[in-house]
Amino acid sequence: MKKLSRQDLWSLEEYSERRAQFRNEVMAHKKNRQVALGDHARLYFEDAITIRYQIQEMLRIEKIFEASAIQEELDAYNPLIGDGNNWKATFMLEYADPAERAAALTRLLGIEDKVWVQVGDFEKVYAIADEDMDRENDIKTSAVHFMRFELSVAMIVELKAGATLQMGIDHVNYPLSAVTVTPQVSQSLIAELDDVSIN
């Protein structure tokens, strides 16, 4: 998957003019980039479009226009875009009530290592979580984690041939056997994977 460069970004002035339409396009795009895992967990899969929006918003909010500062934002956000053989996602534990959320984050310690995706009959692929920084301590986990799911060539071939895609969580306090990903979300995720073949 191609990473973003300065040429992919609009100036602050141009983004101001395009922002409303671009935001609508991104929100529609994101609907096919998320998977609910039960009532309180969700995966938001990132790609060049979602990350471009995040960068443009950051540049706008911070009023960043200097080339070096723009490059810093690109360097910070580009690693969140998949590499053609993996998916990268933001995992969120969503509890509206603060007290319930606090109790859940204690109960769900280590959940970020128990989230998985499964292609057809292949083995589950568990998330590689929080490579940039540790987001839990000895007492509780975080409500937000960044994840990477590494896929084999054989898995990518099978996905492109129509294999089912499932996701779930194996944590003892949040058991979720499997969620079958909808065709729309599957197609969106598969589209960003490289074209590969098994020799």
Same domain, residue pair 18 and 116: no
Please tell me the predicted confidence (pLDDT) of residue 49. Answer: 95
State how far the Cα of 162 lies from the Cα of 186, in Å rounded to an integer.
9
8 part of a folded domain: yes
Q: What pLDDT score does 2 carry?
A: 77
For residues 143 and 170, membership in a common domain is answered with yes
- Same domain for 119 and 188? yes
The pLDDT of residue 184: 95
Separation CA 27–CA 34 (nearest Å): 11
136 and 152 fall within a common domain: yes
- In this structure, are 63 and 159 located in the same domain? no
Domain that residue 116 falls in: 88-194
Q: Is position 38 within any domain?
A: no
Per-10-residue mean pLDDT of the chain, 199 residues long, equals 89 95 96 95 95 96 93 92 94 94 93 95 93 64 93 95 95 89 95 81
Say if residue 68 is in the same domain as residue 133: no
The two three-digit tokens of residue 158, written as one number: 């099978």
Among the listed residues 24, 14, 7, the one whose alpha carbon sits nearest the alpha carbon of residue 60: 14
